[in-house]
């Protein structure tokens, strides 16, 4: 049979990162391409204990259907947590529990974007979100990132040019893939521009609680008095990605449309996972757990930077200093063919993600690649960075 696909999915391609994982599955390959939490980061014993207690005390509650909006106790817990820790959440907002933050991107785009409408994103940006926007035939407009976040002059030009821009998508803290954090000045400027041009902001903050150095910077949503910011939070990097629990705080009219879209998507997020998250946040020392993660990743990040300073920087390969999150972006000299470099790295048994995979236009000239430090062991990190240096020997003049 000859199959005919919808216009919406016909042009979609597999995620470049998922394709790279095929090489990373080779046990001989050192993968610096993943974005997984460290195996040491998971609260395994606590989850075992909570799950056992839930199944003993409330088995039907764990196994039965639940409400689309999310487990009521978890919604209240997250409202209190976001208000006390991040000053997020106004009377005009509500909170929806989703099946991972990826679903937030899907529900927001489905609710707000018509075919041909513009979504403005950072360039580079998270490939999973870009592919979601593409799946609704949105037009992606990328705005370059400076050392302190999205370039505001370019953003205003994009807003002036594209009158049908529906929202600005930003990852302000320890951005994936660049690792860069947006300054407070630029956060306020983005908010003012969004107000001026009547555009929403979708603030994606999966790494915000994983700051290892420097001062805390308030979320854009924390100074949202106009109801123009949607805030996406996630448990993937602070509890477990496998439980697929995230949440969006949005103005109530948008929240209501996202709820209706979710009803037609998956009815509700896994209720066991939601109950586990709520128990971890209310009956255990969640702040201590976060501090444990910060200490773990602070050491791994410093080890990675020490290795890059020793083996890559002397060869002309630069990187963004790691102050939080799970990634950094390395930049090759302009004369090096990044695609060939990444292919040769795989031949040398080390895997990174080519930087063009994160661009709105993958054909643009690009000299960067993303590396992850959270997943590999220290031994794998050292081996991987040395292999990258070995690969670079054939390219660096």
Q: Could you give the percent of the chain with pLDDT greater than 90?
A: 89
CATH number of this structure's domain 7-43+288-392, picked from the four choices 3.30.420.40, 3.90.1150.10, 3.40.50.300, 3.10.105.10:
3.90.1150.10
What is the rounded average pLDDT for all residues in the chain?
94
pLDDT tens, 150-198? 999 999 999 999 999 999 999 999 999 999 999 999 999 999 999 999 9
Say if residue 12's pLDDT is above 80: no
Distance CA 234, CA 240 (A): 9
CA angle 87, 90, 94 (to 5 degrees): 110
Distance CA 124, CA 360 (A): 7
Distance CA 21, CA 56 (A): 39
- Containing 113, the helix (H) or strand (E) segment is none
SS3 content of the chain, % helix, strand, coil (to 5): 45, 15, 35
| Tally of residues, the chain | 397
Name the DSSP class of 322.
P
Say if residue 79's pLDDT is above 60: yes
What integer pLDDT is reported at residue 23 of this predicted model? 65
Direct distance between the N- and C-terminal alpha carbons of the chain, in angstroms, rounded to an integer:
54
- Containing 3, the helix (H) or strand (E) segment is none
Say if residue 22's pLDDT is above 90: no
- Containing 121, the helix (H) or strand (E) segment is strand 118-123
What integer pLDDT is reported at residue 362 of this predicted model? 86
Closest CA to 30 of 397, 381, 390, 396: 381
CATH 3.40.640.10 boundaries in the chain: 64-283
The DSSP line for 29-69 is SEE----PPPGGG--HHHHHHHHHHHHHH-HHHHHS---TT
Say if residue 77's pLDDT is above 60: yes
Say if residue 16's pLDDT is above 70: no
Q: Which residue has the tokens 């050292």?
A: 382
CATH fold for domain 64-283: 3.40.640
Helices (H) and strands (E) counted in the chain, each on its own, are 14, 14
Q: Could you give the count of Cα atoms lying within 13 Å of 240 in the half-sphere of its Cβ? A: 15
Q: For residue 123, what are the β-bridge partners?
A: 144
CATH 3.90.1150.10 boundaries in the chain: 7-43+288-392
Q: Which tokens belong to 132?
A: 């979601």
Over range 98-105, report the average pLDDT.
Answer: 98
pLDDT tens, 298-351? 999 999 999 999 999 999 999 999 999 999 999 999 999 999 999 999 999 999
- Containing 330, the helix (H) or strand (E) segment is strand 327-331
What integer pLDDT is reported at residue 4 of this predicted model? 78
Under the banding of pLDDT at 50, 70 and 90, the label for residue 40 is: very high
């Amino acid at each position: 049979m000859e199959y005919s696909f919808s216009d919406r999915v016909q042009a979609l391609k597999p995620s470049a990162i998922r394709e790279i994982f095929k090489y990373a599955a080779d046990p001989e390959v050192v993968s610096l391409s993943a974005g997984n939490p460290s195996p040491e980061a998971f609260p395994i014993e606590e989850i075992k204990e909570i799950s056992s207690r839930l199944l003993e005390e409330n088995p039907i509650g764990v196994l039965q259907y639940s409400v689309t909006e999310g487990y009521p106790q978890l919604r209240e817990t997250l409202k209190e947590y976001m208000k006390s820790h991040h000053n997020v959440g106004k009377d005009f907002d509500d909170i929806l529990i989703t099946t991972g933050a990826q679903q937030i991107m899907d529900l927001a785009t489905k609710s707000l974007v018509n075919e041909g409408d513009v979504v403005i994103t950072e360039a580079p940006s998270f490939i999973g979100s870009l592919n979601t926007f593409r799946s609704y035939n949105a037009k992606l407009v990328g705005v370059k990132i400076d050392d302190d976040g999205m370039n505001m002059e370019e953003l205003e030009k994009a807003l002036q040019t594209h009158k049908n821009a529906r929202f600005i998508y930003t990852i302000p803290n320890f951005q994936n893939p660049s690792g860069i954090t947006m300054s407070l000045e630029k956060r306020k400027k983005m908010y003012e521009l969004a107000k001026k041009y009547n555009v929403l902001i979708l603030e994606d903050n999966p790494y915000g609680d994983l700051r290892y150095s420097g001062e805390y910077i308030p979320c854009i949503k924390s100074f949202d008095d106009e109801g123009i910011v949607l805030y996406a939070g996630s448990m993937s990097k602070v509890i477990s990605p496998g439980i697929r629990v995230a949440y969006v705080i949005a103005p109530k009219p948008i929240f209501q449309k996202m709820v209706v879209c979710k009803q037609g998507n998956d009815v509700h997020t896994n209720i066991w996972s939601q109950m586990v998250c709520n128990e971890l946040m209310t009956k255990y020392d969640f702040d201590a757990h976060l501090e444990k993660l910060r200490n773990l990743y602070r050491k791994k990040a410093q080890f990675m930077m020490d290795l890059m300073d020793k083996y890559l920087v002397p060869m002309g390969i630069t990187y963004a200093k790691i102050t939080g999150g799970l990634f950094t972006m390395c930049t090759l000299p302009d004369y090096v063919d990044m695609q060939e470099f990444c292919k040769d790295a795989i031949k040398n048994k080390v895997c990174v993600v080519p930087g063009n995979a994160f661009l709105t236009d993958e054909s643009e000239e690009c000299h960067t690649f993303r590396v992850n430090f959270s997943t590999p062991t220290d031994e794998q990190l050292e081996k991987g960075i040395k292999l990258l240096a070995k690969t670079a020997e054939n390219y660096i003049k």
